[in-house]
Amino acid sequence: MRKSYLITMVAMLAGSLTAQTAEKDYTVSANATLMDGSTVKGEFATQGITGTTAFMKNLSLDPTIVKSIAFSSTNGESKVELTNGDKFAMTVANESFAIKSLIGNLKIPRSNFKALSLSARKVSANGHDDGLIFYCTFDDEASVTAPAVGPSMQLELGQIRTHEGRTGGALFVNPGVSGTTVVLPRGMLTSDGCIEFWANMKSGKTEFSTGGDPNYFGLYTTDGNSGGALGFASNDGVGNSGICGIFFGMRTSSNSGFMHMMPYSDVFKGEDYNGWHHYAFTWTMSSLSLYIDGKRVSHATGRLNTELLSKDDIILAIPFHRTLGKSFNNKSAFLMDDFKIWNYAKTDFDL
């Protein structure tokens, strides 16, 4: 019964996703652990994973239905887990796998793999991930006035530093000035969503004060109401500290209690806070979560003020709106790269 079910399931699921792939584009992310302990991340470019199982010879798996493969030896004997949770043993026939990574196109021999995790994502007609509603690379001034996805940004007093980004350029913001703003049309932000970006603190400080060391962004309605913000503060206004987030009636922070001054190391759990780090700000109708480098550092439940969120256009200001956002000043310099907004509560991040 088990073999019969697996044969039917694999055939049906592979066929279903192959049909979907014809209608919608998919990209498959790869996270590979090699025998020497190093890792490779990128886009999985191999069309199929072929091999032999106890229930089917010459099985070819569509990568979109594979969650992970654990390679137990160099002869291809492996444990496979599918996205629906099914697991089985498989002798993999592929001699190598192609991965498009940040360092170029790689063709890695199967014998070099220890484990391989895959994640399929739909992409929209413009070639970007499905659900991505805004994306600015900050590679140059043209990328700000015409973002890869979403409405145009207005570059104010900030600077684009074309060779200082995590990849390409980045937005550099000095203390006390605003960098850039964008008007998000009414209805663009909904009851579920995510804002994510990379940032590099350039202040040289080891600790931060009551607020704005730095403030990364603010959200405002066009009539001047403050809706959200994300930044470091030793007091978020209600006696909490750390990395602090506010979003239309909900707030959360990584640390509890008020401190006059607080070290960044308390937020980063002793890890180095200098250099590039990934930040994410995810909300639902009843919760708000903050992530640093893919790890959730704060979560709180509450109630989203949908009336304020949907009543007007929303101004996103990095780091603050110099006319409307005086309460969200910025005291520290930082670089920002690859700013994205999603229309769902994203919790998995490509780091």
C-beta neighbour count of 125 within 10 angstroms:
8
Residue 192 domain flag: yes
- Specify the higher pLDDT residue, 255 or 9: 255
pLDDT at site 330: 84
Among the candidates 123, 151, 186, a domain finishes at 123
Q: Where is the domain boundary, 68, 97, 123? A: 123
Residue of 108 and 64 predicted with greater confidence? 108
Residue 301 lies in domain: 132-342
More confident residue, 77 or 104: 77
Residue 92 lies in a domain: yes
DSSP designation for 148: S
Contacts 24+ apart (CB under 8 A), 82-88: 82/10, 82/13, 83/120, 84/9, 84/13, 86/6, 86/9, 88/6, 88/53, 88/54, 88/55
Question: Is residue 210 domain-shared with residue 235, that is, in the same domain?
Answer: yes
Q: Are 107 and 210 members of one domain? A: no
Give residue 324's pLDDT band: very low, low, confident or very high (50, 70, 90).
Answer: low
Domain count, the chain: 2
* Residue 348 in domain: no
16 found inside a domain: yes
Same domain? For 76 and 186 the reply is: no
Q: What confidence category does residue 107 fall into, taking pLDDT thresholds of 50, 70 and 90?
A: very high
CATH number of the domain to which 335 belongs: 2.60.120.200
Contacts with 215 (C-beta within 8 Å, 6 or more apart), sequence order: 229, 230, 231, 232, 319, 320, 328, 329, 330
Of 98, 123, 148, the position where a domain reaches its end is 123
Tens of pLDDT, residues 165-194: 988 899 999 887 778 889 998 888 988 999
Asked if 158 and 305 sit in the same domain, the reply is: yes
44/161 same-domain check: no
Residues 175 and 322 occupy one common structural domain = yes
**272-308 pLDDT per residue, tens:** 899 999 999 999 999 999 999 999 999 999 999 988 8
Question: How many whole angstroms separate alpha carbon 51 and alpha carbon 208?
Answer: 55
Same domain for 282 and 228:
yes
Q: List the structure tokens of 202.
A: 């350039």
C-alpha span between 160 and 47 (Å, rounded): 39
- DSSP one-letter code for 129: B
